[in-house]
Amino acid sequence: MKRIVVVEDDRWLGAHYMRVLTRAGFEPYLAADGAEAIDLIDTTVPDAIILDILLEQSTAPTLLHELQSHRDLSRIPVLLVSNIADRVDLGTMKRYGVHAVLDKATITPAQLVGEIQEVVA
Amino acid sequence: MVSGEGRAEVSKGVSLRDNIASSSILAHELKSPLALIRQLTFELESSELSLGERDELARQIRLTSERALRFASDIANTGRRQQELFNTAPLSSSVVCLQVVQEIQPLYKAHGRSFDFNKKSRDYLAVANPDLLHRILMNFADNALEYSDPSSVVEVYTTLLRKRDRVRFGVRDRTSLHGRKNAGAKPSQLPYDRHGLGLMIAQEFAGAFGGKIGTTRHRDGNSFYVDLMISKQLKLV
């Protein structure tokens, strides 16, 4: 079973992602902020990460920098999910292991699962 | 803007319209709860939910939409403020605070958190517009829920200022160092870019009746407050 770490500080949205991923046959883990995410990623070594851009006390780029500094973790594909997806340049983020930038306002659960399946295939 | 002691005051005379000239900022603030509502409705369509889970999702959708409506309503009121003169009256600080507790508590409970009236707060008579003061404190409470450490305790409080001519209404989040989720991390670091819009709205409201908005950064959390003139009626008591 593929392991997915979800980093989302909105508790209800995080729980929603967890239900969607569980139903799709993944083994999801939820972290509410960057520090918790690092611990979780370190212990679970997931197959992919779903990452909110604006996190309390840290931001996605901080976490991505941290991941890049560890050889084993830097290879984990990341999907950015955010309300400011239109302001994020995927070209720039690709060097940090970001495979796609998804807009929270328009994405459906099926699309989220599809994107995850694509990066863990 | 932030002094060495961690205090900050929202700049006087800066109009909301100047600061949020771009309507995209407002749109973004509303996008967040609307996106959440949309995702939760997808969940409601799932056939695998129990009746209890459906009820819980419906409650989350209602509370999130109420929060978005409060924000939209505040924006509408800041626009109207230019044309209207808001009436002020002497208000019991305890009554105001308890009304805020009553209104915001369901949202806090739904997030597994608590919001209370500080028991050490005494009752004062402050001069303010009741509706606007209520909205200011609700705004602080909404901010605290969103940006404070999830393990923190949040309270609304009142205190008499040193010259005894003003009373402070504030919302304070307090995280025990032991309970803090990220040991070693600072408590919510007043990220003004994220708190800013709510504070500016609060400043617009407070300006309507001579109030002053400010923040204090504590070792274990933050306070967002509004200072108001104390009612002269107090001297007659």
Alpha-carbon distance of B138 to A86, in angstroms, equals 30
Q: What is the mean pLDDT of residues A59-72?
A: 83
Q: Half-sphere exposure of A83 toward its Cβ, with a 13 Å CA cutoff?
A: 21
Backbone angles phi, psi at B229, to 5 degrees: -65, 140
In this structure, which amino acid lies at residue B166? R
Measured between CB atoms, does B194 come within 8 Å of chain A?
yes
Cβ atoms of B200 and B10 closer than 8 Å: yes
- The C-alpha of A88 sits at a distance from chain B's nearest C-alpha, in angstroms, of 14
- The C-alpha of B61 sits at a distance from chain A's nearest C-alpha, in angstroms, of 10
Band the pLDDT of B178: cuts 50, 70, 90.
Answer: low
Across the interface, whether the CB atoms of A23 and B182 are under 8 A apart is answered no
Enumerate the residues of chain A whose CB falls inside 8 A of the CB of residue B68: none
Cβ atoms of A34 and A41 closer than 8 Å: no
Cβ atoms of A21 and A5 closer than 8 Å: no
Which chain B residue has the Cα nearest residue A82? B32
Q: Which residue has the higher pLDDT, A29 or B82?
A: A29
Nearest CB to A32: which of B38, B42, B150?
A: B150
DSSP assignment letter at B88 = -
Tokens of A108: 């459906």
Is the model's pLDDT at A82 over the cut of 50? yes
Number of H helices, E strands in chain A: 5, 7
Task: Tell me the pTM.
Answer: 0.68
How high does pLDDT run on average in chain A? 88
Instruction: Provide the pLDDT for residue B233.
Output: 62
Nearest CB to A10: which of B36, B181, B185?
A: B36
Q: Which residue has the higher pLDDT, B178 or B87?
A: B87
Nearest CB to A105: which of B31, B149, B185?
A: B31
Is the model's pLDDT at B17 over the cut of 60? no
Which chain B residue has the Cα nearest residue A83? B32
**A33-37, A70-74, B78-82: which has the minimum mean pLDDT?**
B78-82
Q: What is the mean pLDDT of residues B151-171?
A: 90
**B26-35, B152-161, B215-224: which has the minimum mean pLDDT?**
B26-35
Across the interface, whether the CB atoms of A83 and B111 are under 8 A apart is answered no
Is the model's pLDDT at A31 over the cut of 60? yes
Out of A7-16, A89-98, B86-95, the most confident range is A7-16
Out of A28-37, A54-63, B95-104, the most confident range is B95-104
Concatenated DSSP letters for chain B?
Answer: -B-TTSEEEPPTT--HHHHT-SHHHHHHHHHHHHHHHHHHHHHHT-TT--HHHHHHHHHHHHHHHHHHHHHHHHHHHHHHHTT-----EEEEHHHHHHHHHHHHHHHHHHTT--EEE-TTPPP-EEEE-HHHHHHHHHHHHHHHHHHS-TT-EEEEEEEE-TTSSEEEEEEEEE--TTT-SSTTSPS----HHHHHHHHHHHHHHHHTTT-EEEEEEETTEEEEEEEEEBPTHHHH-
Nearest CB to A36: which of B28, B181, B189?
A: B181
Measured between CB atoms, does B189 come within 8 Å of chain A?
yes
Across the interface, whether the CB atoms of B194 and A23 are under 8 A apart is answered no
- The C-alpha of A75 sits at a distance from chain B's nearest C-alpha, in angstroms, of 26
Q: Which residue has the higher pLDDT, B58 or A61?
A: B58
Cβ atoms of B78 and B14 closer than 8 Å: no
Is the model's pLDDT at B117 over the cut of 90? yes
Instruction: Provide the pLDDT for residue B57.
Output: 93
How high does pLDDT run on average in chain B? 78
Instruction: Provide the pLDDT for residue B187.
Output: 42
For the stretch A46-57, pLDDT in tens is: 999 999 886 655
**A99-103, A113-117, B42-46, B82-86: which has the minimum mean pLDDT?**
B82-86
ipTM passes above 0.90: no
Band the pLDDT of B2: cuts 50, 70, 90.
Answer: very low
Alpha-carbon distance of A91 to A71, in angstroms, equals 21
Q: Give residue B231's Cα distance to chain centre.
A: 23
Interface of A with B in 40-99 (CB under 8 A): 54, 56-57, 83-84
Instruction: Provide the pLDDT for residue A65.
Output: 85
Q: Which residue has the higher pLDDT, A56 or A40?
A: A40
Sole residue written with tokens 């044309």: B83
Q: What is the mean pLDDT of residues B144-168?
A: 88
Enumerate the residues of chain A whose CB falls inside 8 A of the CB of residue B24: none
- The C-alpha of B57 sits at a distance from chain A's nearest C-alpha, in angstroms, of 9
Measured between CB atoms, does A11 come within 8 Å of chain B?
yes
Which of A12, A22, A59 to probe by mutation at the B interface, max B CB count within 10 Å? A12
